[in-house]
Structure 1
Amino acid sequence: MTLIDRLKADAAPQWAAYTRHSFVQQLGDGSLAPSGFQHYLVQDYLFLIQFARAYALGIYKSHSLTDMRTSLEGVKAILDVELDLHLELCGSWGMSRADIENAPEDTPTMAYTRFVLDAGMAGDLLDLQAALAPCVVGYAEIGAGLAAAGRDTASNPYHRWIREYAGEPYQLLAGEFVGWMDVTANEVLTEARYKRVLSLFEKACRLEIDFWQMGLDAAG
């Protein structure tokens, strides 16, 4: 069992509430109001800027070149791929990069990003990974699940988002993250410490739930 599998099992209620949230279900069946998705996507763009900083913090917290390179790949995936997807989708609504980057951060966005950065600053690489994990692994699970259910058809207005996270590049990145976290855990995790790691993971899941709810609330 990977550490992620163990965390997901021990945080099963939070994980289910996050990955099966009504926002996800409505995104999957295409019934989500465009206003809700647009608000979410703008906020997620702002979130990802801070998430890239958190991955960059992983470089500083790393004890090996391998860990540093893995953290760097996370930064590059966000800056070179994920942010471009958001710009592409927002551009289809007439929003420019400046419009998005100058948008105010909503409270759930601030709460989540600051939590992740604080976890990394106050702790070590494993603490940072525990805070990052729900987003990295959860999006892969959500994307793959929606695609497997046939929700990524062109008739779904959100098929581009689903295909991005169900696609091989993102699935590979998430799989590498799982392995990376196991390597770190093998070096530093003890049973006495596991409770703290689980707490960070659970908190990040709850913040993901709040993030989805923000988008749902914006849908009216």
Structure 2
Amino acid sequence: MTHDYGATFPRLRDATGTVWTDYTHHAFVEGLREGTLPRKAFLGYLVQDYVFLIHFARAWALAVTKADALEEMRACAATVDALVNHELSLHVKTCAEAGLSEADLYSAEEHPANLAYTRYVLDAGHSGNFLDLLAALAPCVMGYGEIGARLGPVPDDHPYADWIGTYAGDDYQQVCRDAGTLFDGAVERRLGDDPTTTPGWERLCHRFTTATRLEVAFWDMGLSFGR
């Protein structure tokens, strides 16, 4: 199920083989679904995800400079706004309840799994083109959309209702649809209407799959905080 996230995303997702399922059905995710994930693991993950989103926003800002069309620039700039001014607020609110300030989050030491993932995405943008960057960004955007849609809705008293509700909600699902539209248009503009037959397609698959593997490692990191 792709939840109308465009045509490019499901093709790249299917090209990952079992890696996509490893990501979207990870033990960390299933713990969120069942409400059994240790709170310590969740808070450790949230702190690292806050740091991740800072770099993720920088990567989307980089995409503005890599874009070839005004509509691409607008879409990327809107994503930066959504990350910086909206999604980060979930992390700040939840961590504040545990006694952690936003200053604590911003100054947190990055876990090696976080460093590996964020720097891979940024390098994809600096060393590659607009499509390289989108392929590295897409697993996070669409993966969380798929996870949220599968896990939600949940009752208000579910331990992770706020997190699940954020990614299952209409606003985030629209972010995924908009990202899918952006990706489809960018691929058609650069690779034509039959992109899978072009030399650039294999490169996109590799970018997307590598980023998905790094998402799996990010969940592994999250579980490690609960041990």
When normalised by structure 2's length, the TM-score is 0.94
Secondary structure in structure 1 of the residue aligned to 2:18: helix
How far, CA to CA, are the matches of 1:153 and 1:216 in structure 2? Answer: 24
Task: Give the aligned partner of residue 16 of structure 1.
Answer: 21
2:168 maps to 1:161: no
Deviation, structure 1 residue 120: 0.7
Per-residue deviation, residues 109-158 of structure 1 (Å, max 9, x unmatched)? 000000000001111111100000000000000001001xx5x2123211
Q: State the identity as a percent.
A: 43
Query: Does residue 181 of the first structure (1) align with residue 183 of the second (2)?
Result: yes
Matches within 5 A, 1:136-215: 136-147=141-152, 150=153, 152-189=154-191, 190=195, 191-215=198-222
- Aligned Cα root-mean-square deviation (Å): 1.0
Counterpart of 2:99 in 1: which secondary structure?
Answer: coil
Which amino acid in the other structure matches residue 112 of structure 1?
Y
- CA shift, 1:10, in A, is 1.3
- What is the distance in 1 between the residues matched to 2:30 and 2:218? 14
Corresponding residue SS for 1:12: coil
Structure 1: tracts of 5 or more residues without a match:
none
Deviation by residue 1:82-127 (Cα, 9 ceiling, x = unmatched) = 1111100101101101111111000000000000000011111111
Deviations 1:23-44 (A, max 9, x none): 0000111000011000000000
Map of 2:225 onto structure 1: 218
Deviations 1:162-215 (A, max 9, x none): 000011110001111011101010011242111110000000000000000101
Matched to 1:76, the amino acid is: D
Q: What are structure 2's unaligned runs of at least 5 residues?
A: 1-5
The match for 2:137 is 132
Q: Return structure 1 stretches of 4+ with deviation > 2 angstroms.
A: none
Q: How many residues align?
A: 217
1:59-98 to 2 correspondence within 5 Å?
59-98=64-103
When normalised by structure 1's length, the TM-score is: 0.96
Which of 49, 54, 59 does residue 49 from structure 1 map onto?
Answer: 54
